[in-house]
């Protein structure tokens, strides 16, 4: 028989606001209108059942946590406060077992003078502060142009690609951004990038804020250009209307995220949204077509 069963016992609160605005900016032979939408949502776990005991889900070294009073599935791990710059810092602060100068400096969150699992805390969340989109529509003498922008602000990404590409382990290429890493006490780099280390129990292999990045972005989501033929031309073809168009999707991305695409996620639904491990980016797509009306 079965030793366990699944039960829907949790309670989640969502509170949000959405605003939509439409404006007609220019009327006449040349027309221009704008549609704008912005929305924000805050969620909070109210109950988890089983005495409301918090629990974690993990994917490789990434952890998400479910805890009453907190956002759903927030990133859970160790907060990194730079690099242990020298032997003096190594001896002056509590450090992770086995750490040496050049390793990440883990925050003593509970201030008990020790660094251990009790110092794990919220290190980020995939939930954005708000998302938005804006579409401008232009029309002139049979031509129509639509340009759509979209964006997200405040969401974070657990970049699991960086676990391999932000550290030197001799087996892979690395991000250019880590070139200024800690090399020695006399060559400490920028104080933010630790020395190469691949030991299994080192801080570099833990779920930490070092792998969490800002996922905010602005994207030129869509550009569509069309031309509607004059009625005289279409009637000669036995048609009531003919429209030619070219459409572009995912035209350009503005983002500080170090991997390809902040919208790409290894998991698109469920608790592990916001984890990026080899996710395929949104491609540029061009479509050319004709609409015929009889």
Range of the structural domain that residue 32 is part of = 11-293
Mean pLDDT of the region 250-276? 90
* DSSP letter string, 205-220: GS-BGGGEEE--EEEE
What pLDDT, on the 0 to 100 scale, is given for residue 291? 85
Which 3 state secondary structure label does DSSP give 135?
strand
Quote the tokens at residue 92.
């002056």
Asked if residue 204 is part of any domain, the answer here is yes
* Residue 44 lies inside a defined structural domain of this protein: yes
Q: Return the H-helix or E-strand segment holding 87.
A: helix 87-92
How much is the pLDDT for 146? Answer: 98
- Name the residue with higher pLDDT: 114 or 197: 114
CA distance 216 to 153: 5
Q: Per the domain annotation, does 27 fall within a domain?
A: yes
What pLDDT score was predicted for residue 134? 99
pLDDT tens digits along 76-90 = 999 999 999 999 999
Q: How many whole angstroms separate alpha carbon 268 and alpha carbon 281?
A: 13
pLDDT value of residue 169? 62
**According to the model, what pLDDT value does residue 235 have?**
78
Assigned domain for 2 exists: no
> CA neighbours within 13 Å on the CB side: how many for 180?
5
pLDDT 10s digits, 91-147: 999 999 999 999 999 999 999 999 999 999 999 999 999 999 999 999 999 999 999
Residue 240 lies in a domain: yes
Strand 275-276 and strand 156-159: the pairing is: parallel
CB within 8 Å of 110: residues ≥ 6 apart: 118, 119
Number of domains within the chain: 1
**Of residues 220, 221, 224, the one with CA closest to residue 289:** 224
Q: What is the DSSP letter of 78?
A: B
CA distance linking residue 69 with residue 45, whole number of Å: 5
3-class DSSP assignment, residue 89:
helix
Element (H, E) at 91: helix 87-92
Q: Tell me, what's the pLDDT at 106?
A: 97
Binned at pLDDT 50, 70 and 90, residue 3 comes out as confident
Q: CB neighbours (10 Å) of residue 61?
A: 15
4 belongs to a structural domain: no
* 11-21 mean pLDDT: 97
DSSP notation for 138-201:
EEETTEEEEEEEEEEES-EEEETTHHHHSS--SSS---GGGTT---SSS--TTSSSPPP---TT
CA proximity to 211, closest of 264, 151, 166, 181 = 166
């Amino acid at each position: 028989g079965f030793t366990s069963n699944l039960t829907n016992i949790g309670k989640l609160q969502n509170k949000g606001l959405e605003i939509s605005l439409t404006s007609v900016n220019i009327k006449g032979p040349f027309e221009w209108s704008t549609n704008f939408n912005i929305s924000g949502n805050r969620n909070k776990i109210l109950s988890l059942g089983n005495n409301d005991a918090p629990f974690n889900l993990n994917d490789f070294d990434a952890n998400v946590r479910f805890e009453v009073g907190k956002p759903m599935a927030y990133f859970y791990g160790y907060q990194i406060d730079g690099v242990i710059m020298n032997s003096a810092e190594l001896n002056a602060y509590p450090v992770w077992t086995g750490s040496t100068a050049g390793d990440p400096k883990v925050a003593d969150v509970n201030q008990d003078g020790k660094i251990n699992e009790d110092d794990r805390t919220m290190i980020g969340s995939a939930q954005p502060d708000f998302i938005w989109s804006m579409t401008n529509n232009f029309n002139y003498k049979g031509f129509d142009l639509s340009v759509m922008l979209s964006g997200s602000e405040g969401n974070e990404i657990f970049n699991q690609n960086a676990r391999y590409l932000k550290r030197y382990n001799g087996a892979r290429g690395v991000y250019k951004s880590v070139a200024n890493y800690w090399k020695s006490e006399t060559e400490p780099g920028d104080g933010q990038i630790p020395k190469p280390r691949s030991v299994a129990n080192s801080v570099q292999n833990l779920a930490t804020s070092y792998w969490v990045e800002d996922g905010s972005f602005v994207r030129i989501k869509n550009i569509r250009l069309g031309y509607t033929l004059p009625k005289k031309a279409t009637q000669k073809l036995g048609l009531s209307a003919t429209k030619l168009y070219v459409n572009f999707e995912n035209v350009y991305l503005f983002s500080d995220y170090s991997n390809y695409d902040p919208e790409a996620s290894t998991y698109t639904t469920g608790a592990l949204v916001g984890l990026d491990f080899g996710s395929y980016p949104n491609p540029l797509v061009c479509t050319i077509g004709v609409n015929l009306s009889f």
